Structure 1
Amino acid sequence: MSDHTLPDTLPAWLARLEAAHPIGIDLGLERVAEVARRMGLLAAPLADRVITVAGTNGKGSTVAMLEALALAHGHSTAAYTSPHLLRYNERLRLDGQEADDATLIAGFKAVEASRLAGEPVSLTYFEVGTLGALWAIARRPTDLAILEVGLGGRLDAVNVIDPDVAVITTVAQDHAAFLGTDLQGIGREKAGILRGGRPAVLGSTMLPDSVRQTAGELGAQVYVLGEAFCREGDSEGWTWQAPESALRAIPDLPDPGLPLDNAATALQALTLAGVDLQADACRRALASVELPGRMQWLGQWCLDVGHNPHAAGYVAQRLAARPCTGRTFGLLGMLADKDADGVISALALVVDAWVPASLAGERARMADDLAERLALHGGEVWHLGSSPVEAAEWLAARLLPEDRVLVCGSFFTVADVLEWRLAVSKATDQTAGEDKVIEGTR
């Protein structure tokens, strides 16, 4: 296919990819590995060191802290994550900066050329995006590539790359249609990213036994939270195991505002990847790391993409530790294939009243369905939002200064409200600027 027939803008490419494969999620490595081989991605290391991060929750925050810590130590980085909130460019960061459109388009073109170089190979939206990002990473000298695994593990497209260090954050129920509901089975799937003879960092004390069993069967070098590395109390007493088995520690590390278990996991993984951690650099990184949509506060509004009971439990814990004098409202929008009852139950004690919102699309759950479930859990429903933005606008008009709002349940919910909040803030700033100019001319 000639370049002249391919899209020349990122939105056009994304629209093409969404329509190209009949199945949105198609787990398996045969197709993606064949195209990766044609692209030369399997012939040489992607970067000097590669860390892959799998798990049900905590992957994004672990990747963000790995990236921030590595950059603070002067290392070049490439980080691939998914999904995105507002821009597709968020999925690939090079030295901490979002990839530009030209870089992403070049990656898509390279994938398209390779998948057609021989027997045509059908690829999903996620698979093309993953291969395009890997191609972009491989074309520049990089000290550390940090790759977030998608919903699976063993059969996820990212797993075509052999990591130097593999991380598993948590294992909980989510994506049941693809991974099932058996935690032992889910654990084995996540553990499929581990490699024999290489470090495996297990970042939770509550992983199913199958994870460690699989690590043993593969011959991976296992480092477990609470054993090889830990953090005592809040953020004090952090320790981790260096490759030569010497115990390392840095006192008085700041709370990054993200799960502390994931911060400890990032420190352990970086050490095993050969980074000589320095106290000042670690403190700077953890004090400044940010991750949109994860306990992100914008004034009275807290946005978190948590969409399963395990993630909701963490959000509830953080809100309980930050009491407010007013009421806490929950703006909840969820997909139909998520455990809404589990999420509601986890948040019930920290939310005083609810505004459920309808989402759009094939997997959408309607606000009235959420309202029925909320009522069964004893929740007070204030309003049924026709969309997350409509729900947010309705709430904003009724909030008292001492109130707060938790926006949660889905990436789609948080993305819509985040975009709305940013637009409101921009309009407010512009109006304030104009008023200041007018005042100055009087």
Structure 2
Amino acid sequence: MEESQLRVLTPQAIAVLVRRGADFAAAEDAVQDALLEALRTWPKNPPRDPKGWLVTVAWRKFLDVTRAESSRRRRELKADAEPAPGVVGSADDTLQLYFLCAHPSLSPSSAVALTLRAVGGLTTRQIAAAYLVGEATMAQRISRAKRTIAGVRLNTVRFDTPGDVATVLRVLYLVFNEGYSGDVDLAAEAIRLTRQLAAAADHPEVQGLLALMLLHHARRPARTDDGGRLVPLAQQDRGRWDTHLIIEGIGVLQRALARDRLGEYQAQAAIAALHADAQKPEDTDWPQIVQWYDELVRRTGSPVARLNRAVAVGEADGPRAGLAALAQLDPSLPRHTAALAYLYEKNGDAGQAARLYTEAALLAPNLAEREHLTLQAARLNAAAGNRHP
């Protein structure tokens, strides 16, 4: 039995147990115990129905624990008899499990960890390594999250309002943006989970997020050079972009837009699609990108979207127009100084751009960006003959 198949079966089994009356923490513990037994027995004696086997064994373990603690827990089970194994409908249960793991009572970091653990089937060690924290720290975070939602029943979790969907998608997008760390590719994991969600939930914003992930992931091979340094979009080798992912992402986006229920992830995906559609940087349809940023700003009011829009205006209407748009925003916004440096350089003011690139490097959120911005400042200073940036 491959680990990937167990990771697919894990959320399905947890969801079935919660549906039958187990609280989330008990269901997750029982399924983990069943998985250990599966790893011991399946290589020599694989079941005909892996999911049915996993659900049956997990339910049996849950009943054993519940009966042993019945005097303390005083829990009534809906049925004392062990349910017969067999085909178990799980699409709705699995879908609701997404929403349970992204419950509004959880912090974003807890929701992400719980989603990776329960829906993604990752181990605590894998999640801890991906987020560069100790395994004990991550185990505590997951335990607190399970206690927080212990009283939430699966059949009370709703997913028919835009806010509910947005909460789940925000969690998945947080996972995607973590990229790659440790032995788990979180970007690929986020795409896998979003594909699964899209198959279970007929919602255009789920499709929009999936399209956005695919289009961004398609550019991943060209984002860094052989030395690991960041390569800006305009300088990327577009021959290294994954055309299959681009084609798939655009197709998913077109189907979502055709439903005429526009949302923020569809708008972001449309911007990514316009970048992916340009064979050369100069072919980029910047006026249309500005229009999509206008739509995104109207829908979200996001300061980050406003910042990106200002840069797009600088490309579409010239750097002075971009600087004017940027002047209307809060200078303390993340990457505001870097955007300002880029637009000043584009406007021909290399000296001011070099000073701003240096300042932006000090404010960079990670080492890769800091190195890139420092190199931009050094490049401009070298061109001006200034050896002391």
User: Normalized against structure 2, the TM-score is what?
Assistant: 0.34
More helix by share: 2
Structure with max Cα Rg: 2
More strand by share: 1
Q: Larger relative contact order (C-alpha < 8 A, sep ≥ 6)?
A: 1
User: Normalized against structure 1, the TM-score is what?
Assistant: 0.31
